[in-house]
Amino acid sequence: MKKVITLIVLCLIATACKTDQKENNQDEVVNTSEDENDGFTLLEGNFIYYADAAVFQTPTSLFGVVMNEKSQELVNMAKPLKKQDTDMVKARVKGLIEKKPEGEEGWDFRINIKKIISVEALPAKENEVITLEKQ
């Protein structure tokens, strides 16, 4: 189980590595006409929940996900769209980007989801995962 989680995390890191991470993550903001003044950041990317941990991947960054009522709702919305537990879904959410507290493990930034805008399955080609089976 730990090997599978480690493999997933390594794949996410390899596909999203970028050395010039911007601390304020302004490159992640997507312009939208609805609720522009609500103070939340609109993110669009891939979401995965596996073994009590969730990650949100945008084209330039990785975020840990604060597990709350809205993130659990996102997990439940994603379940029917996944063929395997390790599949990702494409999601569009609004939330607060927070810096990770000192001494805590995880990604440098995390998102506290406040609103789910859309969730859809990824095309099969984008959701290719290598699986290891015992023989």
Structure confidence by residue, pLDDT tens digits, 58-114:
999 999 999 999 999 999 999 999 888 888 999 999 999 999 888 888 889 999 999
Taking the model in full, what pTM does it have?
0.67
CA distances from residue 1 to 4, 15, 109 in whole angstroms, order as listed: 5, 22, 25
pLDDT of residue 118: 95
**Tens of pLDDT, residues 17-49:** 554 444 444 444 444 434 566 789 999 999 999
The backbone torsions φ and ψ at residue 97, rounded to the nearest 5 degrees and listed phi first, read -90, 125
Which pLDDT value is given to residue 25?
A: 43
The tokens for 82 are 């996944």
- The answer to whether 77 and 118 are in contact (CB under 8 A) is no
What CATH fold (topology level) applies to the domain 2-127? OB fold (Dihydrolipoamide Acetyltransferase, E2P) (2.40.50)
| 53 has pLDDT over 80 | yes
Q: Can you say whether the dihedral through the CA atoms of 25, 73, 65, 80 is positive or negative?
A: negative
pLDDT of 122: 85
Give the integer Cα–Cα distance in Å for 4 and 18.
23
